[in-house]
Structure 1
Amino acid sequence: MNYAIDVQGLSKSFHAGAKALDDVSLQVADGEMVALLGASGSGKSTLLRHLAGFVAGDAGSGSVTVNGQLIQRRGKLSRQVRGARASIGFVFQQFNLVGRLPVITNVLTGMLPRVPLWRSLTRWFRRDEVRAGLDALAQVGIDDYAFQRASTLSGGQQQRAAIARTLVQNARVILADEPIASLDPESSRRVMDTLAQINRSRKVAVVVSLHQVDVALRYCPRVVALRHGKVVFDGPSANLTPAMLSELYGSELNELLPETAIAAPAMPGLAPLARLVAA
């Protein structure tokens, strides 16, 4: 079977030998929407950065393949990693937009891997390319703001602009690193709705890191739970029961409980979990 993402035995060590990733193996099929769930320091962001080829794993450690293209193997990035990144959209927690530039210009930077160098340096785009950018902004619901400076948008709107950038990029895999961590509940809902809609309509694989159990259960049919760099659960979100969560995360569970994030529809399975932790 061909996977959108295939990770085999990936490890990453930081200071004093602490492992941010510990022998992680993971496969994601085309069109899947998967939540990476875990508390702070569990390895979610580190794993996403390895999938995108921003960093390499430990020497001799495993491999990462995305869209059939090798990203890294045995601790070394592939020589073709730049080309492979062209089909990987990355949504950062802090939006990664240039505030002084118009929203449409930020979105059109998703085309830079496909346009000549001189046009990428001058940020000159053809009329049909601008139209594609406007269509992407319309899909995420903020085309009315296309020619405003990015800095004038709310946090949620900026995050949706970042998602639109992956659309003009024609990304076949979208990696979203805590995309709602700094957003209010309504903005969080809109961002997650947008990612889910893109997953359904474009059939692209979406992997989103989260630390909110309720959001993961609502939006992602599959959950991969990490703790201390290890995969401790990988399966249908419906199987992630309150008792299992309590066993997996122990004292860290408080960080994963719903605040007021995306409360509707309610998740009845979380009520006993909240009572359990409160006790």
Structure 2
Amino acid sequence: MTIAISIKGLNKTFHGGRKALDEIHLDIAAGEMVALIGASGSGKSTLLRHMAGLMAGDGASQGLVRVHGQTVQQHGKIASDIRQTRAGIGFVFQQFNLVDRLPVIINVLAGTLHRVPLWRSLLRWFTPTERAQGVDALKRVGIAECSAQRASTLSGGQQQRAAIARAMVQGAKVILADEPIASLDPESSRKVMDILARVNREDKCTVVVSLHQVNVAMKYCPRTIGLHQGRVVYDGPSVALTPMLLRELYGADADEILSLGDHISSLQDSQHTGPHLAWPKPLAALSPMALAA
């Protein structure tokens, strides 16, 4: 088994002594699609940023993060060759991280900047082959007709799909998605999760996605990692995440997780791309007695 992401003894303490990550040990295999779940402040976004080398762990710890064998950070220091490593890591932000005034195609082609000369990146000059790659990526996410539009004219769901297309053009073998559907409507959320699942399946890309909705994690991700106050409290099959287990793991914080229903499965859709790992009933349909079990 090839390990895509390896984390050993990672800790992160913010100002004031708040422990954001507490002795994280994880191995994620190449080609897995993994969900990160947890209440607000549990450390999901912080962990993803450490995986990408956007944030360094505590210097006093022995924390080590590697992606496909390349060191991202160690002992609280980002690796000196992090730019080369990041070339293989696509990061999908909750707020899309597009340049509003630029056309969608230029935003997507930003995924090539790690391999084009500086002068071309400054002039935003791309070869016909590179532009064709960008258009193909936009076709795959279903918004090729928007390629010439300014990014600011797209809906939230379309902007998120453009961000995924950028990661495709980048050639990323690992995609880290930080709550990519948190601000989207149900239909847009379904499309974004379907695309991530398809990229995982067709491109053999490792996908780690942080989610608030447990049922969505179960629908799309065979494996779920649960965080609570910076610690891994669950790492296993998504199908095992019953409401009772969640209450055992999270205590009072489980209310925040359980209160968010599955707004994707409620849609009538004949084409499902996920592995269909949802509970028999959406959380919202469970009785208060069942939730308290």
* TM-score > 0.5 by shorter chain: yes
Deviation at 1:15?
2.2
Q: Are the counterparts in 1 of residues 14 and 20 from structure 2 also a CA contact under 8 Å?
A: yes
Question: Partner letter of residue 263 of structure 1?
Answer: S
Q: What is the alpha-carbon distance in structure 2 between the residues aligned to residue 137 and residue 247 of structure 1?
A: 43
Alpha-carbon displacement from aligned partner over 1:200-233 (angstroms, at most 9, x marks no partner): 0000100000111111010000000000000000
Q: Aligned equivalents of 2:292 and 2:140: distance in 1? A: 41
Query: Residue 223 and residue 260 in structure 1: after superposition, are their counterparts in 2 closer, same or farther (change >3 A)?
Result: closer
Verify the 8 A CA contact 1:95 1:158 in the aligned structure 2: yes
Aligned mates of 2:288, 2:174 — CA distance in 1 = 34
Alpha-carbon distance in structure 1 between the residues aligned to 2:25 and 2:157: 32
What is the correspondence of 1:48-67 to structure 2 with a 5 Å cutoff?
48-61=48-61, 62-67=63-68
Please name the residue that 2:14 is paired with: 14
SS at match of 2:148: coil
Deviations along 1:38-87, one digit per CA (max 9) or x if unpaired, are: 11100000000000001110013210000211000011111111110000
Structure 2 residues without counterparts, runs of 5 or longer: 267-275
1:150 aligned to 2:151?
A: yes
SS at match of 2:108: helix
* Distance apart, 1:176 and its partner CA: 0.1
The alignment's TM-score, normalised by the length of structure 2, stands at 0.92
| Structure 2 residue 246 is matched with structure 1 residue 234 | no
The aligned counterpart of 2:26 is 26
1:127-158 CA distances to partner (integer Å, 9 max, x unpaired)?
A: 11000000000001110111111111100000
* Corresponding position of 1:261: 263
Using the alignment, how far apart are the partners of 2:221 and 2:289 within structure 1? 24
Instruction: Tell me the SS of whatever aligns to 1:34.
Output: strand
Alpha-carbon distance in structure 1 between the residues aligned to 2:288 and 2:197 = 26
**Which SS does the other structure have where 1:96 is aligned?**
coil
Q: CA RMSD in A?
A: 1.6
Q: Distance in 2 between matches of 1:268 and 1:64?
A: 37
Distance 1:119 1:154, change over 3 A: same
State how 1:131-150 maps to structure 2 within 5 Å. 131-150=132-151
Q: Structure 1, unaligned stretches of length 5 or more?
A: none
Residue aligning to 1:196 = 197
SS of the equivalent of 1:113 reads helix
Deviation at 1:255, TM superposition (A): 2.0
Q: Which residue of 1 aligns with 2:167?
A: 166
Q: Which amino acid aligns with 1:2?
A: T
> 1-side partners of 2:287 and 2:179: how far apart?
23
Residue matched to 2:216: 215
Aligned residue number for residue 71 of structure 2: 70
Residue type of the alignment partner of 2:118 = L
Q: Distance in 1 between matches of 2:136 and 2:25?
A: 37
Q: Give secondary structure in 2 for the equivalent of 1:16.
A: coil
2:150 and 2:289 map into 1 onto residues whose CA distance is: 46
| Alignment-mate amino acid for residue 78 of structure 2 | L
**C-alpha separation between the residues in 2 aligned to 1:273 and 1:235?**
26
- Whether the aligned pair in 1 keeps the contact of 2:243 and 2:291 (CA below 8 Å) is no
Specify the SS of the correspondent of 1:15: coil
1:215-266 deviation per Cα after TM superposition (whole angstroms, max 9, x unaligned): 1010000000000000000001011122111111122222223335213477
Q: Distance in 2 between matches of 1:274 and 1:43?
A: 28
Counterpart for residue 94 of structure 1: 95
Aligned with 1:252: secondary structure? Answer: helix
Asked if structure 2 preserves the Cα contact closer than 8 Å seen for 1:52 and 1:85, the reply is yes
**3-state SS of the aligned residue for 1:214?**
helix
